[in-house]
């Protein structure tokens, strides 16, 4: 009754849970973006050899053995010659130059004005070989920098490629899909241009077959990857109508058995869930959460990583969305994830958990019931630094939203010692969050059970008091103030007086049940 | 990198600079430090001396001094780890490392800018060649950071399609690279598997003094004591010892040469160093002959003096030499001159009869004044006893300074007090050895022998120190090999544990290679301890510069031992 205002007064310190959560999302997005920018320059390899008419063996015997590389001038004159055959050869030569591993001459090709020629070749329906070579060449040009991709788009490639998606020749169709993927992968602007030109429908029509296994793995992978690029990037996020259009296909791909297809489909879901709550709702509303949870239990890292990311994104949403994840049994996957051999998985799992403990107390209870608190404590003790940071957040959110009983349980699970040890962290944000957690625990002990003396003693025994005292000399003012506040309130003599004034709350008799069977209450 | 011209690349570099001198806690390091200090005094080089007993202290010492110093000289520490990785120094800190620990970490060997190794390359180093263990980044294709290495990362936004041939080439390259990596692992494993020791640091620094033509007799004596430390503490093979003794002998004759003729004869107060083919009886010139025989590892083990039979044999042996017990049991200094005259020959003759073939050993003695005569091993035992003194609660630094002082001629009293301490230590060692053997405390664990000194064993505090425990280990293993009838056990290495800090609940664990005259003194326990600790999650502290010495939580002893047995079986 009188507890409710008090609750809001201390628990979130003026910030409601949602705000707290949003801030957490932003931090993560920032990190991810930084990582993504790194990767833009590390283009990814193709793993499987492509499936098309010209086998590598053939090519080698034909002209590879003594294939001298063409110069740009030779290519230009070949393309300008009237003969179709020499145009094909020149296009192939250009494609080869663009396919070599080191320093493909993308800019030279662009400045030689070859893009419009290649785009024109895309339309030669009666001459498939040149369509294929031109598609490949343009794909590789579009794989470069933003400027290079833009050059391909300016050449009118998007509609031409969309036409080719439904080409009767599967290898041409695949190449066109790949090219569109490269264009859409450049960022929000080009992605939306691809969508506006109507790429989604033909792409989805490719998948309109009863059994996906009719396709080669490479083909299906390219389609999935391109679809994922259509879901990718924010500011703005992809148009809602397109997302809704893609969802059924995506769900189907999530049930496919190829590992790489699964991984890319999961990434697509993770992009779509990385946004506001209504964005999350579009995905969560399709009922794919149970499948995602199942994928969490897979062995393959490339699948687990995006599936966990998607789940993690969903629990940044509303309590109901979070509840859907819990109802799907996600928490039972967490013991494995929190002890995963890859530190990154541990970190993401801890991050996810931190957003769950930021939820309702019934949700915190589910975390407890799933037996995850000891794992969390374990992370605080021995995980790598980034994971520890996330675990600290999980604890702090727990202490701010948990019931007295739950917080008492947390303390009994030995959270204090590792938590206090982390006060020596160099990162002041983490220190502040820990100080918040300690304050929360004190508030619980003080208003509810009158056990703050015991708590002070415990903190002192774990060397926490020394650390908090030392923090009073911290260069960061917020840290200094928070530490000072704690010391003044709980580690100076006057507190006796305050305690006598506080009546023992009778409306919380359940809090004393624990103390009853232990004669004196003990954290 | 290895320094080839020690004068130009080391001494002249630090000549006008301030130097931080970080010295490990062993006698060879102290001797090297003494020589270096003398050189620095000579040339007015400012230095700060910091004793370090382990990696943690080394780290702290570096942190404390890195602002004021650019040049760090590390003596008998630092070579066998990736120092830059451990200390994370700024780019302008330079480390000169004079260290006997082998193998030298490969990164230290191939770092050209910050790590300068004062180590002779003709020392049996066997460093893998650069190409075998490093690959320059440029060689690697930028696209190679592909799927496998970074599994589970977000897919890239754009992908280029490669040539068919390129795919094959890349697969081929990846295969070659995997092979190369596997091979690299193997090479590094072989290289890092055993721990051993190279040429004495004191000898290295003495060579510097010699190259600078600033070597004195005192420096020569310290170099000899440094070498003798390696022999006393069983760090080098017999072969290596004899070879290095020969080197030192050349320096000794060079120094004595100058004073041979009448005109230039030295005053009796000056130091004379002489090569000796002397008795292998510890401290006998400062003890009684009888006590020295009883407390020297070599004789004690041969007679099995912990048995009644052994005691009887000793009496016979003394009788055979014709030495009256009264003479033998009184202070060596007060023995009759007539007996002392050809004592060494007399003892050798009888010893041969009793199967003690190597009672004499090549060593050196120093004399100054009429009274003061010391063998190099006397110095080592005295300094070691001071360095690890547990008598009073004095800090490691105090002990370090005392031990350092004892090496100077001007601190004769310090040296004599060290000799007294050393006697106590040797008696303690012999008594512990006897009680361990008599109460069957040495257990065969299959792949190695094991002995655990319980809390409450007499003198157990003494053996909480690494050098003392190692020495005990060596004596104990030798004694065990003489006493056991089990042939297989004679070939086993020994692991020994003793309480380290009762309050913290830790023990100190030492492993030594099997005992044999031809032993290569290569010790694999460093790696084995690491692995055993890793596999069991035991709480260990690998802080000592010798990796075969670690600290362990007492509760984790059993599981650690089990893992060690499994690992080595």
- The pLDDT tens digits of the residues spanning A438-457 come to 999 988 887 665 678 888 88
Q: Tell me the pLDDT band of A221, cut-offs 50, 70 and 90.
A: very high
Terminal-residue alpha carbon distance, chain A: 26
**Residue A152: enclosing H or E segment and its boundaries?**
helix A146-154
Taking an 8 Å cut-off on Cβ atoms, the answer to whether B159 and A100 are in contact is no
Taking an 8 Å cut-off on Cβ atoms, the answer to whether A42 and B168 are in contact is no
Rounded to a whole number of angstroms, the distance from the CA of B557 to the nearest CA of chain A is 22
Residue B118 DSSP code: -
Q: Tell me the pLDDT band of B163, cut-offs 50, 70 and 90.
A: confident
Whole-number Cα distances in Å, B12 to B21, B208, B213:
16, 11, 14
Nearest-by-Cβ selection for A49 from B151, B159, B164: B164
Whether residue A519 is predicted with pLDDT greater than 60 in this model: the reply is no
Q: Tell me the pLDDT band of B264, cut-offs 50, 70 and 90.
A: low
Burial status of residue A282 (CB atoms within 10 A of its CB: 0-12, 13-18, 19 or more) = middle
Alpha-carbon span B548 to A311, nearest angstrom: 48
Residue whose C-alpha is closest to residue A123's, from A80, A159, A77: A159
Taking an 8 Å cut-off on Cβ atoms, the answer to whether B160 and A99 are in contact is yes
Whether residue A101 is predicted with pLDDT greater than 50 in this model: the reply is yes
More confident residue, A273 or A444: A273
Look at residue A450 in the predicted model and tell me its pLDDT. Answer: 65
**Residue A158: enclosing H or E segment and its boundaries?**
helix A157-165
Look at residue B151 in the predicted model and tell me its pLDDT. Answer: 72
- The stretch B63-77 carries a mean pLDDT of 93
- The pLDDT tens digits of the residues spanning B541-559 come to 999 999 999 999 999 999 9
Contact between A431 and A421 under an 8 Å Cβ cutoff? The reply is: no
* Residues of chain A with C-beta less than 8 angstroms from the C-beta of B152: 301-302, 304-305, 342, 344-345
ipTM exceeding the 0.90 mark: no
Taking an 8 Å cut-off on Cβ atoms, the answer to whether B156 and A64 are in contact is no
Whether residue A160 is predicted with pLDDT greater than 80 in this model: the reply is yes
* Residues of chain A with C-beta less than 8 angstroms from the C-beta of B138: none
Nearest-by-Cβ selection for B161 from A35, A139, A267: A139
Measured in degrees and rounded to the nearest 5, phi and psi for residue B41 equal: -60, -45
- The stretch B82-89 carries a mean pLDDT of 90
Look at residue A448 in the predicted model and tell me its pLDDT. Answer: 63
Residue whose C-alpha is closest to residue B59's, from B30, B96, B32, B88: B88
**Chain B interface, best mutation among A36, A41, A44, A179, by max B CB count within 10 A:** A44
Nearest CA in chain B to A93: B163
Residue B196 DSSP code: E
Whether residue A30 is predicted with pLDDT greater than 70 in this model: the reply is no
Alpha-carbon span A18 to A25, nearest angstrom: 11
Mean residue pLDDT of chain A comes to 83
Look at residue B401 in the predicted model and tell me its pLDDT. Answer: 94
Whether residue B146 is predicted with pLDDT greater than 70 in this model: the reply is no
Measured in degrees and rounded to the nearest 5, phi and psi for residue B48 equal: -120, 130
Instruction: Give me the total of CB pairs closer than 8 Å, taking one residue from chain A and one from chain B.
Output: 117
Contact between B329 and B290 under an 8 Å Cβ cutoff? The reply is: yes
Both tokens assigned to A50: 């492509």
Nearest-by-Cβ selection for B156 from A43, A47, A306: A43
**Residue B548: enclosing H or E segment and its boundaries?**
none
* Residues of chain B with C-beta less than 8 angstroms from the C-beta of A228: 155
Alpha-carbon span B458 to B253, nearest angstrom: 46
Whether residue A43 is predicted with pLDDT greater than 60 in this model: the reply is no
Nearest-by-Cβ selection for B152 from A186, A187, A304: A304
Taking an 8 Å cut-off on Cβ atoms, the answer to whether B153 and A39 are in contact is yes
Nearest CA in chain A to B157: A185
Taking an 8 Å cut-off on Cβ atoms, the answer to whether B158 and A144 are in contact is yes
Both tokens assigned to B518: 């031809």
Burial status of residue A492 (CB atoms within 10 A of its CB: 0-12, 13-18, 19 or more) = exposed
Whether residue A42 is predicted with pLDDT greater than 50 in this model: the reply is no
Nearest CA in chain B to A267: B154
Taking an 8 Å cut-off on Cβ atoms, the answer to whether A344 and B152 are in contact is yes
Whether residue A249 is predicted with pLDDT greater than 90 in this model: the reply is yes
Tell me what percent of the residues of chain A surpass a pLDDT of 90: 67
Taking an 8 Å cut-off on Cβ atoms, the answer to whether B151 and A301 are in contact is yes
Look at residue B390 in the predicted model and tell me its pLDDT. Answer: 87
pTM of the model: 0.61
- The stretch B526-549 carries a mean pLDDT of 92
Measured in degrees and rounded to the nearest 5, phi and psi for residue A279 equal: -60, -45
Nearest-by-Cβ selection for A185 from B158, B166, B168: B158
Q: SS3 of B467, please?
A: helix
**Chain A interface, best mutation among B145, B158, B166, B534, by max A CB count within 10 A:** B158
Taking an 8 Å cut-off on Cβ atoms, the answer to whether A50 and B157 are in contact is no
Taking an 8 Å cut-off on Cβ atoms, the answer to whether A44 and B159 are in contact is yes
Buried b or exposed e, range B95-107, using 16+ CB within 10 angstroms:
bbbbbbbbbbbbe
Whether residue B138 is predicted with pLDDT greater than 70 in this model: the reply is no
Buried b or exposed e, range B363-383, using 16+ CB within 10 angstroms:
bbbbebeeeebbbbbbbbbbb
Look at residue B259 in the predicted model and tell me its pLDDT. Answer: 64
Q: SS3 of A348, please?
A: helix
Whole-number Cα distances in Å, A261 to A90, A226, A230, A520, B94:
35, 11, 15, 58, 52
Look at residue A476 in the predicted model and tell me its pLDDT. Answer: 87
DSSP string, B10-66: IIHHHTTS-EEEEEESSHHHHHHHHHHHHHHHHTT--EEEEEE-SHHHHHHHHHHHT
* Residues of chain B with C-beta less than 8 angstroms from the C-beta of A142: 158
Contact between A259 and A302 under an 8 Å Cβ cutoff? The reply is: yes
- The pLDDT tens digits of the residues spanning A391-408 come to 999 999 999 999 989 999
Taking an 8 Å cut-off on Cβ atoms, the answer to whether B169 and A182 are in contact is no
Nearest-by-Cβ selection for B146 from A45, A144, A229: A45
- The stretch B23-42 carries a mean pLDDT of 95
Residue whose C-alpha is closest to residue A253's, from A284, A281, A295: A295
Whether residue A3 is predicted with pLDDT greater than 80 in this model: the reply is no
Rounded to a whole number of angstroms, the distance from the CA of A138 to the nearest CA of chain B is 10
- The stretch B59-81 carries a mean pLDDT of 93
More confident residue, B165 or A287: A287
Contact between B564 and B550 under an 8 Å Cβ cutoff? The reply is: no
Residues forming a β-bridge with B117: B2, B97
Residues forming a β-bridge with B272: B367
Nearest-by-Cβ selection for B158 from A99, A142, A345: A142
- The pLDDT tens digits of the residues spanning A337-387 come to 999 999 999 999 999 999 999 999 999 999 999 999 999 999 999 999 999
Whether residue A48 is predicted with pLDDT greater than 50 in this model: the reply is no
- The stretch B272-301 carries a mean pLDDT of 93
* Residues of chain A with C-beta less than 8 angstroms from the C-beta of B162: 45-46, 99-101
Q: Helices marked H in A357-476 — which ranges?
A: 361-369, 373-382, 385-401, 404-412, 416-421, 428-444, 452-461, 464-471
Taking an 8 Å cut-off on Cβ atoms, the answer to whether A139 and B145 are in contact is no
Alpha-carbon span B283 to B289, nearest angstrom: 9
Q: SS3 of B302, please?
A: helix
- The stretch B421-450 carries a mean pLDDT of 93
Residue whose C-alpha is closest to residue A115's, from A82, A132, A139, A97: A139
Contact residues for A248 (Cβ-Cβ < 8 A; gap 6+):
A286
Rounded to a whole number of angstroms, the distance from the CA of A488 to the nearest CA of chain B is 33
If one counts every other C-beta atom within 10 angstroms of the C-beta of residue B190, the result is: 12
Whether residue A502 is predicted with pLDDT greater than 70 in this model: the reply is no
More confident residue, A1 or A77: A77
* Residues of chain B with C-beta less than 8 angstroms from the C-beta of A64: 165
Contact between B68 and B88 under an 8 Å Cβ cutoff? The reply is: no
Contact between B350 and B322 under an 8 Å Cβ cutoff? The reply is: no
Alpha-carbon span A46 to B147, nearest angstrom: 9
Taking an 8 Å cut-off on Cβ atoms, the answer to whether A136 and B155 are in contact is no
Taking an 8 Å cut-off on Cβ atoms, the answer to whether B152 and A305 are in contact is yes
Alpha-carbon span A215 to B556, nearest angstrom: 57
Taking an 8 Å cut-off on Cβ atoms, the answer to whether B165 and A60 are in contact is yes
Whole-number Cα distances in Å, B533 to B195, B527, B538, B539:
18, 10, 5, 7
Taking an 8 Å cut-off on Cβ atoms, the answer to whether A64 and B165 are in contact is yes
Whether residue B473 is predicted with pLDDT greater than 60 in this model: the reply is yes
Chain B positions with Cβ closer than 8 Å to A: 141-143, 145-147, 151-170
Whether residue A434 is predicted with pLDDT greater than 90 in this model: the reply is yes
Residue whose C-alpha is closest to residue A76's, from A104, A108, A103: A108
* Residues of chain A with C-beta less than 8 angstroms from the C-beta of B158: 40, 43, 142-144, 149, 181-182, 185-186
- The stretch B354-372 carries a mean pLDDT of 90
Taking an 8 Å cut-off on Cβ atoms, the answer to whether A96 and B161 are in contact is no
Look at residue A25 in the predicted model and tell me its pLDDT. Answer: 55
Whether residue A37 is predicted with pLDDT greater than 70 in this model: the reply is no
Select, from the ranges A10-24, A435-449, A470-484, B31-45, the one with the highest average predicted confidence (pLDDT): B31-45
Rounded to a whole number of angstroms, the distance from the CA of A397 to the nearest CA of chain B is 28
């Amino acid at each position: 009754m009188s507890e409710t205002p008090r609750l809001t007064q201390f628990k979130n310190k003026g910030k409601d849970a949602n705000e707290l959560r949003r801030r957490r999302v932003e931090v993560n997005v920032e990190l991810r973006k930084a990582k993504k920018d790194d990767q833009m320059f590390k283009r990814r390899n193709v793993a499987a050899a492509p499936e098309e008419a010209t086998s590598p063996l053939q090519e080698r015997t034909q002209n590879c053995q003594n294939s001298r590389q063409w110069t740009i001038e030779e290519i230009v004159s070949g393309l300008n010659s009237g003969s179709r055959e020499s145009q094909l050869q020149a296009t192939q030569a250009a494609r080869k130059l663009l396919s070599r591993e080191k320093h493909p001459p993308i800019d030279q090709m662009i400045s030689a004005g070859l893009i419009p020629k290649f785009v024109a070749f895309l339309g030669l329906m009666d001459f498939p070989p040149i369509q294929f070579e031109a598609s490949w060449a343009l794909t590789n040009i579009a794989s470069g920098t933003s400027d290079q991709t833009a050059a391909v788009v300016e050449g009118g490639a998007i509609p031409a490629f969309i036409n080719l998606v439904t080409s009767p020749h599967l290898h041409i169709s695949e190449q066109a899909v790949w090219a569109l993927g490269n264009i859409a992968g450049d960022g929000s602007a080009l992605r939306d241009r691809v969508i506006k030109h109507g790429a989604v429908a033909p792409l989805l029509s490719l998948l309109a077959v009863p059994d996906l296994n009719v396709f080669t793995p490479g083909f299906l992978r390219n389609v999935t990857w391109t679809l994922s690029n259509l879901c990718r990037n924010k500011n703005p996020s992809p148009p809602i109508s397109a997302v809704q259009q893609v969802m059924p296909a995506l769900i189907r791909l999530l049930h496919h058995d190829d590992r790489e297809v699964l991984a890319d489909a999961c990434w697509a879901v993770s992009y779509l869930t990385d946004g506001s709550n209504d964005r999350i709702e579009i995905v969560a509303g399709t009922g794919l959460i149970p499948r995602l949870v199942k994928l969490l239990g897979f062995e393959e890292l490339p699948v687990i990583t995006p599936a966990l990311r998607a789940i993690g994104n969903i629990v940044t949403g509303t309590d109901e969305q979070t509840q859907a994840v819990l109802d799907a049994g996600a928490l039972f996957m967490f013991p494995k994830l929190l002890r995963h051999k890859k530190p990154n998985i541990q970190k993401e799992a801890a991050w996810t958990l931190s957003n769950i403990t930021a939820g309702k107390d019934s949700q915190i209870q589910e975390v407890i019931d799933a037996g995850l608190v000891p794992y969390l404590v374990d992370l605080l003790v021995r995980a790598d630094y980034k994971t520890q940071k996330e675990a600290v957040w999980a604890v702090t959110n727990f202490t701010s939203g948990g019931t007295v009983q739950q917080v008492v349980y947390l303390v009994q699970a030995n959270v204090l010692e590792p938590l206090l040890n982390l006060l020596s962290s160099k990162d002041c944000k983490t220190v502040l969050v820990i100080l918040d957690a300690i304050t929360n625990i004190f508030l619980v002990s003080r208003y509810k059970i009158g056990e703050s003396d015991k708590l002070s003693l415990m903190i002192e025994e774990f060397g926490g008091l020394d650390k908090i005292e030392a923090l009073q000399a911290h260069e960061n003012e917020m840290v200094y103030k928070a530490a000072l506040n704690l010391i003044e309130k709980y580690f100076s003599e006057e507190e006796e007086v305050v305690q006598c004034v506080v009546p023992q709350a009778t409306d919380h008799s359940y809090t004393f049940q624990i103390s009853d069977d232990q004669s004196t209450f003990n954290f | 990198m290895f320094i080839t011209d020690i004068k130009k690349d080391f001494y002249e570099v630090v000549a006008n600079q301030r130097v931080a001198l970080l010295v490990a806690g062993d006698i060879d390091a102290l001797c090297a430090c003494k020589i270096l200090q003398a050189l620095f005094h000579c040339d007015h080089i400012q230095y700060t001396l910091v004793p370090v007993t382990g990696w943690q202290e080394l780290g702290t010492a570096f942190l404390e001094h890195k602002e004021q110093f650019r040049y760090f000289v590390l003596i008998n520490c630092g070579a066998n780890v990736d120092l830059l990785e451990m200390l994370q120094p700024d780019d302008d800190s330079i480390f000169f490392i004079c260290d006997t620990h082998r193998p030298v970490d490969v990164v230290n060997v191939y770092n050209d800018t910050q790590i300068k190794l004062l180590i002779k390359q003709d020392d049996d180093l066997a460093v893998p060649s650069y190409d075998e263990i490093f690959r320059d980044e440029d060689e690697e294709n930028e696209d190679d950071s592909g799927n496998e290495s970074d599994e589970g990362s977000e897919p890239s936004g754009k992908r280029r399609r490669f040539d068919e041939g390129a795919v094959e080439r890349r697969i081929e390259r990846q295969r070659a690279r995997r092979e190369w990596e596997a091979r690299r692992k193997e090479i590094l494993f072989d290289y890092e598997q055993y721990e051993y020791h190279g040429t004495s640091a004191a000898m290295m620094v003495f060579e510097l003094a010699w190259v600078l033509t600033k070597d004195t007799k005192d420096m020569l004596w310290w170099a000899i004591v440094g070498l003798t430390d390696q022999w006393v503490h069983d760090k080098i093979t017999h072969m290596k010892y004899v070879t290095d003794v020969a080197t030192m002998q050349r320096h000794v004759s060079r120094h004595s040469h100058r004073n041979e003729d009448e005109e230039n004869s030295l005053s009796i107060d000056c130091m004379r160093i002489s090569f000796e083919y002397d008795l292998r009886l510890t401290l006998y010139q400062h003890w009684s002959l009888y006590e020295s025989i009883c407390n020297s590892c070599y004789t004690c083990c041969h007679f099995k003096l912990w048995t009644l039979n052994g005691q009887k044999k000793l009496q016979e042996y003394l009788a055979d030499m014709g030495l009256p017990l009264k003479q033998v049991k009184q202070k060596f200094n007060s023995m009759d001159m007539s007996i002392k005259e050809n004592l060494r020959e007399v003892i050798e003759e009888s010893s041969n009869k009793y199967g003690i073939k190597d009672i004499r050993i090549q060593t050196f003695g120093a004399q100054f004044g009429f009274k003061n005569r010391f063998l190099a091993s006397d110095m080592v035992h005295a300094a070691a006893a001071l360095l690890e003194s547990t008598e009073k609660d004095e800090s490691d630094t105090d002990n370090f300074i005392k031990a350092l002082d004892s090496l100077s001629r001007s601190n004769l009293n310090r040296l004599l007090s060290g000799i007294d301490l050393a006697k106590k230590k040797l008696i303690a060692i012999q008594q512990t050895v006897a009680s361990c053997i008599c109460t069957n405390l040495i257990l065969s664990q299959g792949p190695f022998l094991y002995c655990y000194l319980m809390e409450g064993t007499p003198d157990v505090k003494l053996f909480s120190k690494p050098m003392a425990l190692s020495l005990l280990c060596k004596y104990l293993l030798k004694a065990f090999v003489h006493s056991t009838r089990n042939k297989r056990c004679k070939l086993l290495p020994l692991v020994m544990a003793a309480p380290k800090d009762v309050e913290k609940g830790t023990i100190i664990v030492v492993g030594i290679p099997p005992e044999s005259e031809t032993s290569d003194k290569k010790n694999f326990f460093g790696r084995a301890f690491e692995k055993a600790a890793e596999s069991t999650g035991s709480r260990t502290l690998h802080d000592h510069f010798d990796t075969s010495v670690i600290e362990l939580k007492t509760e984790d002893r059993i599981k650690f031992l089990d893992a060690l047995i499994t690992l080595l079986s």
